[in-house]
Amino acid sequence: MKAQLRKVKWNKGTVEGSGQEYDYTRVYVEIPVYEQQQKEFGVDVLELEYGTEADHIKLAHLRGKLPCQVEVEFMPVKKGNGMINLVTKLEVLGQAGQTTSSSQDKAKG
């Protein structure tokens, strides 16, 4: 689907106290609010898992160029007790350049 890429966020570390490790790069794309919604309208953002903290390097060239138009594909996957949306393809369209990612293998781990 075509969407506006709004934000790229990454982090890696350990939760103080529990010792649980975290390692992620997330992207945030703009999506429309359901048209039949009675008490809101406009757009919102959807959080997508792009990969590990190291994967943000693939998007570093977009710093200062957001928002930009992207073609993005993702699939819901189970992570622990919850669900996340995992990017399977991300292609930057237009002036910002091109980036592709396939994170399906990361979903298996």
> Sign of the C-alpha dihedral, residues 93, 89, 31, 48?
negative
Is the pLDDT at 107 greater than 60? The verdict is no
For the chain, the domains span 2-108
Whose structure tokens read 């993005």? 72
pLDDT digits (tens, 9 = 90+) for 47-102: 999 999 999 999 999 999 999 999 999 999 999 999 999 999 999 998 765 545 54
Q: Which CATH class is domain 2-108?
A: mainly beta
Is the pLDDT at 6 greater than 90? The verdict is yes
pLDDT at 109: 47
Q: In the chain, what are the helix, strand and coil shares in percent, each to the nearest 5?
A: 15, 50, 30
